[in-house]
């Protein structure tokens, strides 16, 4: 029997996973969503044909899986509000809330609750996301397989053996699309400064980023080798890379990821179990 899945939170990421499951053949009748926002409920109901409610408890009532797709600062209250609806039941809890540890989730839902924590990223909106997952000891092989099948509906999946690494994943891939969007933005702006029309500069930057990513994903060579292959001695690319290296690009990115990791830890301390 297909698992009954309740989404607690119907924002962008919840909607992305819902859409991925439906495209993969999951029946709309087996999916439901809860959100306090009228507009969010209307969107999932009209776009996907699934039941949508303002009541988390109603959505969770007979669910085999709860996908927690709310903001970290909301999660404790959400978990507390679901306690009565889950009394005597232990559905799989799949959380995509940044920073909130499985220890906090187990404290709110019960230590014997099967829990999987995941960190996806926004390319999940087009089925090209990447997610890292960590499962608690209370989660059996079937629970792990179920969680993986849900997240695989929107992209690649990677399992972690150490939950502490989730903060690094959050910094690298969870927040990573924003860094690349910023680079694309800067490249397009620089192209304009060199005389290109804004629309053309933006398009060239976008297509270059997309093509380079596809090339790297499909290549047998690592990015460093690919970079060397297109860097001719004394050529234009070499000059551009020299400026980037002298400007400390790698160090800057390292500090940026460190800041994101630290904020993930702060979220756990601020909004975790208390």
Domain, as residue range, for 208: 176-264
For residue 246, the domain's CATH number is 1.10.3730.10
Q: Please indicate, yes or no, whether residues 56 and 145 belong to a single structural domain of this protein.
A: yes
Mean pLDDT by 10 residues, the chain (274 residues): 89 93 93 95 94 95 94 91 82 94 93 95 94 97 97 97 96 96 98 98 98 96 97 96 97 97 92 75
The answer to whether residue 169 is domain-embedded is no
Q: In the listed set 125, 144, 164, which residue is the last one of a domain according to the structure? A: 164
129-135 vs 115-119, strand pairing mode: antiparallel
* Domains in the chain, number: 2
Q: Please indicate, yes or no, whether residues 182 and 130 belong to a single structural domain of this protein.
A: no
Q: Please indicate, yes or no, whether residues 10 and 125 belong to a single structural domain of this protein.
A: yes
The answer to whether residue 149 is domain-embedded is yes
User: What is the reported pTM?
Assistant: 0.92
Q: Please indicate, yes or no, whether residues 79 and 160 belong to a single structural domain of this protein.
A: yes
For residue 144, the domain's CATH number is 3.40.50.720
Tokens coding 79:
């978990």
């Amino acid at each position: 029997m297909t698992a009954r899945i309740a989404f607690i939170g119907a924002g962008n990421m919840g909607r992305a996973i819902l859409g991925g499951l439906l495209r993969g053949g999951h029946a709309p009748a087996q999916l439901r969503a809860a959100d306090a926002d009228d507009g969010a409920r209307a969107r999932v109901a009209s776009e996907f044909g699934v039941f949508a409610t303002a009541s988390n408890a109603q959505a969770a009532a007979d669910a085999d899986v709860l996908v927690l797709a709310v903001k970290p600062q909301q999660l404790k209250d959400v978990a507390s509000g679901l306690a009565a609806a889950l009394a005597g039941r232990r559905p799989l809890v799949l959380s995509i809330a940044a920073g909130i540890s499985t220890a906090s989730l187990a404290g709110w839902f019960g230590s014997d609750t099967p829990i999987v924590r995941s960190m996806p990223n926004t390319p999940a909106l087009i089925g090209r996301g990447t997610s890292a997952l960590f499962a608690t000891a209370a989660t059996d092989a079937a629970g792990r397989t179920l969680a993986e099948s849900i997240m695989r509906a929107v992209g690649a999946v990677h399992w972690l053996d150490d939950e502490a690494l989730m903060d690094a994943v959050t910094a690298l891939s969870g927040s990573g699309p924003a860094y690349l969007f910023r680079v694309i933005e800067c490249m397009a702006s620089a192209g304009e400064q060199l005389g290109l029309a804004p629309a053309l500069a933006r398009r060239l930057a976008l297509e270059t980023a997309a093509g380079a990513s596809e090339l790297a994903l499909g290549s047998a060579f690592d990015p460093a080798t690919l970079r060397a292959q297109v860097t001719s001695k004394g050529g234009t690319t070499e000059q551009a890379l020299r400026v980037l290296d002298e400007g400390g690009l790698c160090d800057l990115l390292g500090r940026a990821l460190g800041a994101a990791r630290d904020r993930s830890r702060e979220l756990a301390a601020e909004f975790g179990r208390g």
